[in-house]
């Protein structure tokens, strides 16, 4: 057990270093912080709300992450395939799942760092008013889980192809589908002809449905379970894709 | 050390490797010859456990690759074709990564890195990003990675490809020296290399073994006494039309 986590940690460290050794990490962080700030203070109506909360920030995250997380995850496996290093990695004395988990954790950690860097908004809210910091904390947990779910899907699409652009587009489409099944303009449309229980059942598959709970400050184990199962399922599928690719 | 029995691999309807069997013992250097696309790399990938065989079996040090993949991988050092590496890393951090993946830590890691850096002459480029290196250095960096845990078995896919004559000579000498205490398989297109470094050679053509013997034996089978003529007489070029 210990040795297997040591290998996972070695892979994760290499992956994290790879982000920061290329401009990718810095470009990503700058764009994320600029856009999240922009959305929060303009479309989010941060000041107009007249309440001390981060709702303006968190409401936009599912849409912002929709593009940024696949951009951060698209290289994970397609780059290994393009460079041929996948052959080195998978002939090291490790199981494929260790490589998959190691790479995922590294990217997730990177995204969590990006999220943490949005702390000036938290400071601002606390300075201007008296927000419920418990709600903010649970909002961040939800945002981290959302990023993890998108990222796991990006891992899967990245394993499918050596072309990063294809990996990116596939991931965006899949993540978008997970948003739209619970996006109210669409579910309202569906509700016109479908029975309510069907609409309800479909929207349960949406990241939005489960993300919203966290934004209200409710830590529901079902929401947690949803995100963790999306992550586990997508990583398992990544393993299947990698195995099939090698079987030929 | 390495035992390959009836190994086959099909990709769709194409049979890349077809019933290949051979053995390599400690102290042997096996040269793997054949035209492009003959199935050399595919065979090596099955031995290293990178791809599973369609049929047949491979065992390394008495362990079946299919049943004990991790134990087998521990005992093998592998240089894949075209010597891939993480090009954004420095040579030193790449070797550190390889050492840690092999379970080497602290002093064991440092001494392993010192040893392979000396063997592969990488002292002058340790801090450089692999991206910026010449092909010869990149190749040797990947070779160093394969040697870092001093494995009992070495699988080298075209270890001299893209090197200049001096570097080729060095790598051959290295292979011959290491061959005294290890079991080595290496593939090549260059026939002189077989004579220079191998104790035995296998010629493979379209997935099948067509000759197996010492370099001297193989040479003797050509009318002219040249390995090249023998090679050409029993293999077909990829432009030749399929007769079967």
In SS3 terms, B103-121 reads as CCCHHHHHHHHHHHHHHCC
User: Which chain A residues are closer than 8 Å to B49 by Cβ?
Assistant: 91
User: Which chain B residues are closer than 8 Å to A95 by Cβ?
Assistant: 69-70
8 A C-beta contact, residue A69 and residue A155:
no
Q: Does B108 touch chain A (CB under 8 A)?
A: no
Q: Does residue B139 surpass a pLDDT of 70?
A: yes
Q: Does B131 touch chain A (CB under 8 A)?
A: no
pLDDT (0 to 100) of residue B200: 92
Q: How confident is the model at residue B233 (pLDDT cuts 50, 70, 90)?
A: confident
pTM for the structure as a whole: 0.92
pLDDT (0 to 100) of residue B243: 44
Average pLDDT score, chain A: 91
8 A C-beta contact, residue A105 and residue A190:
no
8 A C-beta contact, residue B189 and residue B180:
no
What are the backbone dihedrals phi and psi of residue B74, each rounded to the nearest 5 degrees, phi first? -60, -30
Q: Does residue B244 surpass a pLDDT of 50?
A: no
**CA dihedral of residues A163, A169, A171, A177 (deg, nearest 10):** -160
Q: How, if at all, do strands B183-188 and B29-33 pair?
A: parallel
Identify the residue whose tokens are 């809210």: A125
Range from A81-95, B41-55, B82-96, B213-227 carrying the lowest mean pLDDT: B213-227
pLDDT (0 to 100) of residue A195: 82
Alpha helices in A22-132 (DSSP H): 24-41, 55-73, 75-83, 85-89, 96-116, 119-128
Residue B244: count other Cβ atoms within 10 Å of its Cβ: 3
Considering CB atoms only, which of A7, A95, A247 is closest to B101? Answer: A7
Average pLDDT score, chain B: 90
**CA dihedral of residues B125, B126, B129, B130 (deg, nearest 10):** 70
Distance between CA A109 and CA A144 in Å, rounded? 9
CA distances, A19 to each of A10, A63, B14, B24, B56 (Å):
15, 23, 39, 42, 41
pLDDT (0 to 100) of residue B236: 72
> CB distance B78–A88 less than 8 Å?
yes
Q: Does residue B24 surpass a pLDDT of 50?
A: yes
Chain B: nearest CA to A103, how far in angstroms? Answer: 14
Interface of A with B (CB under 8 A): 3, 6-7, 10-11, 14, 17-18, 21-22, 83-85, 87-88, 90-95, 246-248
8 A C-beta contact, residue B144 and residue B95:
yes
8 A C-beta contact, residue B31 and residue B188:
yes
Distance between CA A111 and CA A140 in Å, rounded? 12
Tens of pLDDT, residues A164-218: 999 999 999 999 999 988 888 888 888 887 888 888 888 888 999 899 999 988 8
Tens of pLDDT, residues A2-58: 778 899 999 999 999 988 888 889 999 999 999 998 888 887 777 777 777 888 889
Output the six-digit token pair for B52: 């599973």
> CB distance B97–A22 less than 8 Å?
no
Interval B65-91 mean pLDDT: 94
> CB distance A246–B48 less than 8 Å?
no
Say which residues have a Cβ less than 8 Å from residue B131's Cβ, sequence separation at least 6.
B87, B88
Distance between CA B201 and CA B213 in Å, rounded? 6
Chain B: nearest CA to A17, how far in angstroms? Answer: 9
8 A C-beta contact, residue B196 and residue B171:
no
> CB distance A246–B52 less than 8 Å?
yes
Chain B: nearest CA to A137, how far in angstroms? Answer: 36
Distance between CA B110 and CA B117 in Å, rounded? 10
The fraction of chain A above a pLDDT of 70, given in percent, is 99
Beta bridge partners of B20: B7
List the single residue in B with minimal CA-CA distance to A19: B88
Tens of pLDDT, residues A205-242: 899 989 999 998 888 899 999 999 999 999 999 999 99
Using alpha carbons, select from A161, A10, A152 the residue that is nearest to residue A93.
A10
Q: Does residue B238 surpass a pLDDT of 70?
A: no
Q: Does B84 touch chain A (CB under 8 A)?
A: yes
Interval A85-108 mean pLDDT: 95
User: Which chain A residues are closer than 8 Å to B73 by Cβ?
Assistant: 91-94
Distance between CA B161 and CA B171 in Å, rounded? 10
8 A C-beta contact, residue A72 and residue A110:
yes
Distance between CA B86 and CA B91 in Å, rounded? 9
pLDDT (0 to 100) of residue A248: 62
Say which residues have a Cβ less than 8 Å from residue B44's Cβ, sequence separation at least 6.
B32, B78, B155, B157, B185, B187
Q: What is the CA radius of gyration of chain B?
A: 18
Distance between CA A108 and CA B122 in Å, rounded? 34
CA distances, B151 to each of A38, A143, B58 (Å):
55, 46, 17
Tens of pLDDT, residues A130-151: 899 999 999 999 999 999 999 9
Output the six-digit token pair for A170: 């596939």
Q: Does residue B62 surpass a pLDDT of 50?
A: yes
């Amino acid at each position: 057990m210990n040795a297997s986590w040591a290998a996972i940690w070695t892979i994760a460290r290499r992956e994290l270093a790879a982000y920061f050794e290329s401009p990718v990490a810095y470009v990503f962080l700058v764009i994320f912080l600029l856009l999240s700030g922009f959305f929060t203070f303009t479309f989010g109506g941060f000041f107009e709300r007249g309440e001390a909360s981060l709702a303006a920030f968190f409401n936009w995250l599912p849409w912002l992450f929709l593009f940024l997380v696949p951009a951060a995850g698209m290289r994970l496996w397609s780059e290994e395939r393009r460079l041929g290093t996948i052959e080195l990695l998978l002939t090291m004395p490790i199981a494929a799942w260790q490589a998959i988990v190691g790479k995922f954790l590294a990217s997730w950690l990177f995204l969590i760092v990006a999220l943490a860097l949005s702390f000036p908004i938290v400071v601002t809210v606390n300075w201007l008013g008296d927000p419920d910091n418990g709600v903010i904390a649970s909002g961040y947990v939800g945002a981290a889980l959302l990023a993890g779910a998108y990222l796991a899907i990006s891992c899967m699409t990245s394993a499918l192809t050596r072309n990063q652009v294809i990996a990116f587009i596939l991931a965006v489409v899949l993540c978008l589908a997970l948003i739209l099944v619970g996006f109210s303009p669409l579910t309202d449309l569906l509700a016109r002809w479908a029975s309510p229980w069907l609409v309800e059942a479909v929207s349960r598959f949406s990241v939005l449905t489960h993300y919203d709970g966290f934004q209200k400050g409710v830590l529901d184990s079902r929401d947690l379970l949803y995100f963790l199962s999306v992550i586990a399922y997508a990583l398992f599928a990544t393993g299947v894709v990698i195995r099939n690719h090698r079987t030929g | 050390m390495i035992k390959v029995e009836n190994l086959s691999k099909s990709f769709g309807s194409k049979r890349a490797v077809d019933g290949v069997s051979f053995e390599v013992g400690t102290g042997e250097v096996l040269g793997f010859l054949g035209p492009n696309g003959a199935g050399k790399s595919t065979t090596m990938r099955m031995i290293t456990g990178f791809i599973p065989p369609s049929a047949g079996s491979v065992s390394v040090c008495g362990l079946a690759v299919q049943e004990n993949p991790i134990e087998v991988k521990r005992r093998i050092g592998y240089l894949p074709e075209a010597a891939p590496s993480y090009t954004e890393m420095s040579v030193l951090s790449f070797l550190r990564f390889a050492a840690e993946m092999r379970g080497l830590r602290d002093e064991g890691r440092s001494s392993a890195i010192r040893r392979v850096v000396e063997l592969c002459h990488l002292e002058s480029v340790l801090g450089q990003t692999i991206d910026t290196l010449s092909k010869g250095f990149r190749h040797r960096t990947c070779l160093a990675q394969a040697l870092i845990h001093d494995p009992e078995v070495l699988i080298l896919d075209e270890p001299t490809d893209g090197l200049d004559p001096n570097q080729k000579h060095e790598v051959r000498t290295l292979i011959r020296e290491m061959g005294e205490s290890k079991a080595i398989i290496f593939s090549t297109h260059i026939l002189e290399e077989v004579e220079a470094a191998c104790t035995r050679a296998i010629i493979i053509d379209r997935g099948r073994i067509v000759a197996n013997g010492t370099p001297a034996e193989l040479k003797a089978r050509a009318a002219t006494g040249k390995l090249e003529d023998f090679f050409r007489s029993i293999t077909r070029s990829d432009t030749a039309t399929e007769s079967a």
